[in-house]
Amino acid sequence: MNNKWNFNTIAIHSVQSSNHKCKAVSEPLIPAVAYSFNSADEAAAVVNGEKKGVYYGRFGNPTSQALEKKIAIMENGEAALAVSSGMAAISIAIMTFLKQSDHMIVTNDIYGGTHKFLSNIATRYGISYDYVDCTSIDMIEENIQSNTRAIYLETPSNPTLTVTDIKTISKIAHNNNLVVIVDNTFMTPYLQRPLDLGADVVVHSATKYMNGYGDVIAGFVVGDQEVVNYMRDNVMGDLGQVMNAWESYLILRGLKTLGIRMERHCDNARKIANFLDTNDIVEKVHYPGFKSHPQYQLAKRQMKRMGGIVSFEIKGTAQDSKHFINQLELAMISFSLGDPETLVQHPASMTHSSIPEKDLSKFGISKGLIRLSAGLEDAEDIIADLKQALENLKVNI
């Protein structure tokens, strides 16, 4: 690979290995479960890690391995692990570094699925955690305990788009022998590279922007080769969380347009945020590209652009917010994000419904909050749809 290539060239050409027999440009799809060996000794060497190779589909496949190499290059990591979902990536990262009686600091506004994993599974196995305002270094330092092993960040956060300082937090963590895990789903390596800023591990829900077409459920973990090897052999493989070859193939296809798609997502999000900010039915717009955003200057330093997500709060009740999204004609109500289609959802009753209603405010989630994932449509059409729904709502409140 040419080290002087820029991102879009890397996304298309890195790890491209033209098939020697048929000269195919696309990576081959190899869905095999079992693999043969020339001898029993060779099979044993591969299983024991003495020789590179694939021996059983639960630990990977050649198509996924090509994808892993590309993801590692894009994130500037030594190695990557392709797994069956974003939650598989998150759970693998946490279980790799924490065991019974260990403690973790978690940024206090996170994806609802991560919240549910921590409260439903991590606690069952004796892992404790504290939700901390990670925009405050003092708060982080105050919450480090003798058994703290990791700091878990999601920046920008889901759904309120809080930005945390990866570089500074990583320095604090490493001074205390802690590992920093960063969920980079909202940004992708096109807009932000946490490893370059000092983080130890990056996780992705590849279901979202990395694939980009709404037809795959997948995840990635990126980090040091030794850590990724451990995850593959002792966590992913044993729990059966491998990404299959077909979904790996689809993501390899999707990555070729990642940079181009992210530019359009960002352009549309910026235009949508500007429109919403001028509407008198909208109480507040959460968007890191606004100078009024609490971490605007940090976002400018840490992120290439401001991403494709806009969250906003509607005046009125939770029912008014639901009425608003019910009136949308182009934007679709969905739990996901990062698709070509503009998607909206009501976090309090959808993605973050696992958080008790009394605790929503602790995570910065109001009952009127709406998360919008800007699609690839013409921005004027998205804005026209939002405008008609807001006008409809204005008549009814």
d(CA 71, CA 184): 12
Same domain, 293 and 281: yes
Q: Output the pLDDT for position 301.
A: 98
Q: Output the pLDDT for position 45.
A: 93
pLDDT digits (tens, 9 = 90+) for 161-216: 999 999 999 999 999 999 999 999 999 999 999 999 999 999 999 999 999 999 99
Same domain, 241 and 283: no
Same domain, 233 and 293: no
Beta bridge partners of 286: 311
d(CA 312, CA 324): 12
Q: Which DSSP string do the residues of 151-217 spell out, in sequence order? A: EEEESS-TTT-----HHHHHHHHHHTT-EEEEE-TTTHHHH--GGGGT-SEEEEETTTTTT-SS---
pLDDT digits (tens, 9 = 90+) for 216-236: 999 999 999 999 999 999 999
The active-site residue out of 70, 208, 261, 322 is 208
Percent of the chain with pLDDT over 70: 96
Please check the confidence at residue 397 and state whether its pLDDT lies above 80: no
pLDDT range class, residue 271, cuts 50, 70, 90: very high
Please check the confidence at residue 21 and state whether its pLDDT lies above 90: no
Which among 164, 206, 170 is positioned nearest to 189, based on CA atoms? 206
Element (H, E) at 82: strand 79-83
Please check the confidence at residue 20 and state whether its pLDDT lies above 80: no
- 66 touches 17 (CB < 8 A): yes
Q: Report yes or no on 50 lying in a domain.
A: no
Please check the confidence at residue 25 and state whether its pLDDT lies above 90: no
Same domain, 262 and 251: no
Same domain, 231 and 98: yes
Please check the confidence at residue 22 and state whether its pLDDT lies above 70: no
The active-site residue out of 102, 109, 165, 183 is 183
H-assigned helices in the chain: 7-13, 40-47, 62-74, 86-97, 112-117, 137-143, 166-175, 188-191, 225-231, 237-239, 245-255, 258-277, 296-302, 318-326, 379-396
The active-site residue out of 35, 51, 58, 277 is 58
d(CA 124, CA 121): 5
Q: Output the pLDDT for position 347.
A: 86
Please check the confidence at residue 329 and state whether its pLDDT lies above 80: yes
Q: Output the pLDDT for position 156.
A: 98
- Tell me whether strands 369-373 and 309-314 are parallel, antiparallel or unpaired: antiparallel
Residue 16 or residue 40, greater confidence? 40
Q: Report yes or no on 44 lying in a domain.
A: no
Q: Tell me how many degrees the CA angle 328-360-362 measures, rounded to the nearest 5.
A: 135
Percent of the chain with pLDDT over 90: 81
d(CA 307, CA 288): 8
Choosing from 255, 279, 303, the residue where a domain stops is 255
| CATH classification at residue 338 | 3.90.1150.10
Q: Taking the CB of residue 168, how many other CB atoms lie within 10 A of it?
A: 14
pLDDT digits (tens, 9 = 90+) for 5-14: 999 999 999 8
For tokens 């021996």, name the residue: 55
56: tokens are 């059983």
d(CA 91, CA 71): 19
Mean pLDDT of 77-96: 98
pLDDT range class, residue 358, cuts 50, 70, 90: confident
Q: Output the pLDDT for position 26.
A: 80
pLDDT digits (tens, 9 = 90+) for 378-396: 999 999 999 999 999 876 6
The active-site residue out of 70, 102, 109, 111 is 111
Q: Report yes or no on 368 lying in a domain.
A: yes
Please check the confidence at residue 340 and state whether its pLDDT lies above 60: yes
Same domain, 187 and 228: yes
Containing domain of residue 139, as a range? Answer: 7-30+61-255
For tokens 């330092």, name the residue: 141
Same domain, 273 and 377: yes
pLDDT range class, residue 370, cuts 50, 70, 90: very high
Is 149 a catalytic site residue? Answer: no
Choosing from 255, 282, 314, the residue where a domain stops is 255
Is 322 a catalytic site residue? Answer: no
Same domain, 299 and 358: yes
Please check the confidence at residue 1 and state whether its pLDDT lies above 70: no
Please check the confidence at residue 149 and state whether its pLDDT lies above 60: yes
Q: Report yes or no on 45 lying in a domain.
A: no
Mean pLDDT of 145-152: 98
Q: Output the pLDDT for position 357.
A: 74
pLDDT range class, residue 28, cuts 50, 70, 90: confident
d(CA 66, CA 324): 44
d(CA 178, CA 148): 7
Q: Report yes or no on 49 lying in a domain.
A: no
| CATH classification at residue 102 | 3.40.640.10
Choosing from 226, 255, 284, the residue where a domain stops is 255
d(CA 204, CA 184): 6
Q: Report yes or no on 317 lying in a domain.
A: yes
Same domain, 326 and 201: no
pTM of the model: 0.94
Same domain, 194 and 319: no
Same domain, 240 and 263: no
- 193 touches 76 (CB < 8 A): yes
For tokens 């009814």, name the residue: 396
Q: Report yes or no on 93 lying in a domain.
A: yes
Mean pLDDT of 73-87: 98
Q: Taking the CB of residue 226, how many other CB atoms lie within 10 A of it?
A: 10
242: tokens are 């491998």
Please check the confidence at residue 19 and state whether its pLDDT lies above 70: no
Is 183 a catalytic site residue? Answer: yes
Q: Report yes or no on 114 lying in a domain.
A: yes
Is 301 a catalytic site residue? Answer: no
- Provide the mean pLDDT of the chain: 93
Q: Output the pLDDT for position 54.
A: 83
Same domain, 103 and 171: yes
Q: How many domains does the chain have?
A: 2
